[in-house]
Amino acid sequence: MKDNCILTAESVTEGHPDKLCDTIADSVLDACLRIDPAARVACEVMATAGKIIVAGEITARELPDIAAIVCRTVREAGYGGSDYEVEAVTHDQSGDIAGAVDNGTQMGAGDQGIMYGYACNETVELLPLPVVLAHRLTCLLTNARKTGTIQRLGPDGKAQVSVEYQGGKPRRIAAVVVSCQHDADKDMDELRREITRRVIVPALRDLYPDPKTEVFINPSGRFVLGGFEADTGLTGRKLMADTYGGLAPHGGGALSGKDGSKVDRSGAYMARYIAKNIVAAGLAERCTVSLAYAIGRAEPVAVDIDAHQTGKYPEAVLARAVRAVFDLTPAGMISALGLDRPIFARFCNYGHFTHQDAPWEQTDQAAALAEACGREAGRMPHER
């Protein structure tokens, strides 16, 4: 990170069309796992005015009622009066891929790819401050709609926060943007006052805007038409909002709609779990973990730790300790993080790494990592 810079992160509400597609995909995945914990699911969703298409590969003992899941999820997101045609087009996982994953010995990775995890000590969540603040804004925006503290709000919305850093530390908020759907008869001046009081003030309590902070509330003006009626939604199109706001590397693989054999998801969750435990243990102030896999292979082909020159030990020691403490095979990651359980829709909104009760957000391996680093550091001189 530069010593002096402005870092920006974005979040979207659960009623945003792309995020709603993610939630549908994860709701389908959860339903499959309730029926069959060993289900193989790669579910994609596209939605536009009057049409929602669910497609992908699903291998399970029984298929759930996908149309009912879609209707329930859309209704729970706040679009209760909407009328959509639902089309589900699914087929079994490719036999070639299935044979590579379930090869009779040890579960292989469902795809190749590089997954990144990141953690830093600038917030309680061990995430960059702009990421935390952006998600807090959209959470409060949705809560204001659901509780009625702000009347005539719609479910679609976005928020963005720019934080100015000095000496590598967050010092002030440079800009805040909140865009929220509303009824046609909502007074814009009233909306801006309510958003400021009910959303912005409580969300930015850790670093409050100063007189020079630019605050934009619905800068485009009216935002009456939202959701699928205004914009086509698609799974996997909010990867930065799902992870680190673009402030850490991303391998490019989407998360939602994929079971744990897909390392795009299990590897990303495990990399975050590792990075968070490294920082929680005091082994680094900031940490990026990268895991690389080959399809059909169980063990990662590469494990890399970057402590950004803040590590207590050399990065080679950290990497050895990580391999000693964590089982990085797909089966090991699924077991450690409970990824064969129907938990995914619950954690897919407002960032996958902001939910403190998520299995990959626990810091229960911090002590084991610190101990392993001590052992590995003692061995290193004898191996030179």
Residue 74 CB coordination number (10 Å): 23
Average pLDDT over residues 158-164: 98
45 in a domain, yes or no? no
Question: Cα separation of 298 and 371, whole Å?
Answer: 26
* 117 and 160 co-located in one domain: no
342 contact partners, CB below 8 Å, separation of at least 6: 29, 30, 31, 33, 34
303 and 280 inside one domain:
yes
- Would you state the structure tokens that stand for residue 73, as one six-digit string? 């999820």
Q: What are phi and psi of 234, to 5 degrees?
A: -150, 140
Q: What percent of the chain clears pLDDT 70, i.e. is strictly above it? A: 95
Regarding whether 362 and 284 lie in a shared domain, the answer is yes
Please, which residues have CB within 8 angstroms of residue 144's CB and are 6 or more apart in sequence? Answer: 150, 153, 194, 198, 199
Q: Is residue 83 part of a domain?
A: no
Counted domains in the chain = 2
The confidence band for 110, taking pLDDT boundaries of 50, 70 and 90, is confident
- How would residue 379 be classed by pLDDT, with cut points 50, 70 and 90? confident
On whether both 152 and 117 belong to a single domain, the answer is no
Structural domain boundaries enclosing 220: 5-12+129-225
For 339-356, the pLDDT digits (tens) are 999 999 999 999 999 999
Question: CA nearest 24: which of 50, 51, 43, 41?
Answer: 43
Q: Tell me what the pLDDT averaged over the chain comes to.
A: 94
Instruction: Say whether pLDDT at 226 is over 80.
Output: yes
pLDDT for position 98: 64
Q: Does some domain include residue 198? A: yes
pLDDT digits (tens, 9 = 90+) for 277-290: 999 999 999 999 99
Would residue 20 count as lying in a domain?
Answer: no
Give the whole-angstrom CA distance, residue 304 versus residue 320: 10
Higher-confidence position of 296 and 240: 240
Q: Are residues 145 and 207 in the same domain?
A: yes
If asked whether residues 314 and 208 sit together in one domain, one would say no
166 and 117 in one domain?
no
Per DSSP (E only), the strands in the chain are: 5-12, 40-48, 51-59, 85-91, 113-120, 153-166, 169-182, 214-217, 233-234, 286-293, 302-306
User: pLDDT per residue over 45-56, tens digit each?
Assistant: 999 989 999 999
At 148, list the tokens.
């009625």
Of the residues 225, 243, 274, which one is the last residue of a structural domain? Answer: 225
In a domain, 98, yes or no: no
The pLDDT of residue 384 is above 80 = no
Q: Are residues 208 and 276 in the same domain?
A: no
Whole-number pLDDT of residue 381 = 60
Question: Is position 56 within any domain?
Answer: no
pLDDT > 70? residue 219: yes
Look at residue 218 and tell me if it is in a domain. Answer: yes
Same domain, 318 and 352: yes
The residue whose two tokens read 């796992």 is: 33
The per-residue pLDDT for 83 is: 81
Is 256's pLDDT higher than 70? yes
Of the residues 225, 245, 279, the one at which a domain ends: 225
Which has more pLDDT, 161 or 103?
Answer: 161
Find the mean pLDDT for residues 230-247. Answer: 96
Q: Say yes or no: 290 and 353 in one domain.
A: yes
Residue 383's pLDDT is 45
Considering the domain architecture, whether residues 298 and 200 belong to the same structural domain is answered as no
Question: What pLDDT band is residue 378 in, cutting at 50, 70 and 90?
Answer: confident
Please state, for a pLDDT cut of 90, what percent of the chain lies above it: 85
What number is the average pLDDT over the span 239-265? Answer: 95
Instruction: Report which residue type is found at 3.
Output: D
Final residue of a domain: which of 203, 225, 247? Answer: 225
pLDDT of 81:
66
More reliable by pLDDT, 112 or 244: 244
Same domain, yes or no, for 377 and 279? yes
Q: Quote the pLDDT of residue 263.
A: 95
β-pairing, 214-217 vs 169-182, is parallel
Mean per-residue pLDDT for 252-266? 95
CATH code at position 332: 3.30.300.10
Q: Is 236 inside any structural domain?
A: no
